[in-house]
Amino acid sequence: MPLPGKFMFYIRYMEKSFTLTLILLSMPGVYSDSHSLRYVYTGVTTPGYGMSEFSKFGYVDDQLLEFYTTDIGRTVPVASWWKKENPELWEKKTRTSKANVALFRHEVKFMMKRFNHTEGLHVVQVMHTCGLRDDGSTVGDEQFQYDGREYMYLDVQTATYFPSMAEAQITTERWNRPDIRAGVGISNYLVNECIERLRRYIVKGREDLERRVRPGVKVTGLESGKVTKLHCWVYGFHPRAVDVKWMKNKVDDVPTYDATRILPNPDGTYQIRVTAEVIPQEGNSYSCYVDHSSLEEPLYVKWEPRQHSAPAVIISVVVFIILLLSFVIAGVLIYKKKNDTYTAARTLDTSPDTSHQVNEEACSL
């Protein structure tokens, strides 16, 4: 089992390798919204399935800042404003990421043993986040996950680790020992250095991070018997955070039947679709509720059920009757014409031949 202090040293070293001169500017609007800085470190047992043996992804709010994977072998800046940094920075970040490949390889094997796994694809993730709220207060968080489930976390206020699963009990007890206190260093980082970095990133990327694009909303309904499936498509909004739900009479929430994840668009905006199933009743109305930072007030986009027009139904019946009568009249006329032709033909065939009478009269003259 690796020493927790060593593990935290590597994590700490990875973060402190990127030491920047921070220029704190008191600019209006910089703290007008909540912002966060998040790093996700991932190690897997078996590379493949679209995953590298080790990767590191950094985000400011919802925007991908940078990433490193063992497949690429270097740190890659992604945000346009972040690419302008000195290229030497990416070399430093690449070296620190490479130093953690062996660490995570060891941690993955250790966690497999702790969970009694001997083979298969398994994933270990360490995620730490610091946040700056719109009121100026700060938050910090560190989580550890195995196969997508949290097994331990750090309480930043007390610098103490707590297990979320029994398998992490031994580790948390060791890391919390008075002679180790592994949570102290990372807690200090999250509430101090991480926040200072975040402030600098907000200033550098302010134009992109605080861009506001109003969402478009489209609602539709698909009727199937008594049940109607309502769809609300919200699209073209920025930033990513949005609240979308169906409501009855603008008061009661309607249980969501299905919702997509918030998906990115090629132009940097986002979209989401939320679906609910309802049984419409007279007097009830259904609206899609949308709340977004680009809006002064939430939107209520009402779904209008399809109306079955009585005049349209009457016109359809009248047209059908006229067509039916037309066919009947045409049939009668055709039948009558054929019958008259047949009768005339029969009359000519059966009339007496008077030609000899004319001849006899001519002879008598």
Q: Mean pLDDT of residues grouped by 10 in the chain (365 residues)?
A: 36 32 28 80 85 93 91 93 90 93 91 92 94 90 94 96 95 96 96 95 89 94 89 93 92 84 84 92 91 94 74 56 66 62 50 40 31
For the chain, give every residue range classified as CATH 3.30.500.10. Answer: 4-209
Long-range contacts of 73-81 (CB under 8 A, 24+ apart): 73/98, 79/205, 79/208, 80/208, 81/204, 81/205, 81/207, 81/208
Q: Which two three-digit tokens encode residue 76?
A: 């890659």
Confidence (pLDDT) at 299: 96
CB 104 within 8 A of CB 54: yes
* Alpha-carbon gap, residue 17 to 9, rounded angstroms: 12
Could you give the angle at the alpha carbon of 44 between the alpha carbons of 43 and 46, nearest 5°? 150
* Alpha-carbon gap, residue 295 to 311, rounded angstroms: 41
Looking at domain 4-209, its CATH class is alpha beta
* Alpha-carbon gap, residue 125 to 146, rounded angstroms: 6
Confidence (pLDDT) at 134: 82
Q: Which residues of 246-282 are buried (b: 16+ CB within 10 A; e: fewer)?
A: bbbeeeeebeeeeeeeeeeeeeebbbbbbbbbbebee
Confidence (pLDDT) at 272: 95
Helix, coil or strand: residue 232 = strand
Confidence (pLDDT) at 352: 46
- Burial (CB count <10 Å: 0-12, 13-18, 19+), residue 54: buried
Task: Give backbone dihedrals phi and psi of 202, rounded to 5 degrees, phi first.
Answer: -60, -40
Rounded to two decimals, the pTM is 0.64
In eight-state DSSP terms, residue 169 is H
CATH domain 216-303 topology:
Immunoglobulin-like (2.60.40)
CB 172 within 8 A of CB 150: no
Could you give the angle at the alpha carbon of 103 between the alpha carbons of 100 and 108, nearest 5°? 125
DSSP-based helix, strand, coil % in the chain, nearest 5: 35, 30, 35
Among residues 96, 70, 87, the alpha carbon closest in space to that of 18 is found at 96
Confidence (pLDDT) at 354: 40
Confidence (pLDDT) at 240: 86
For the chain, give every residue range classified as CATH 2.60.40.10. Answer: 216-303
Confidence (pLDDT) at 22: 26
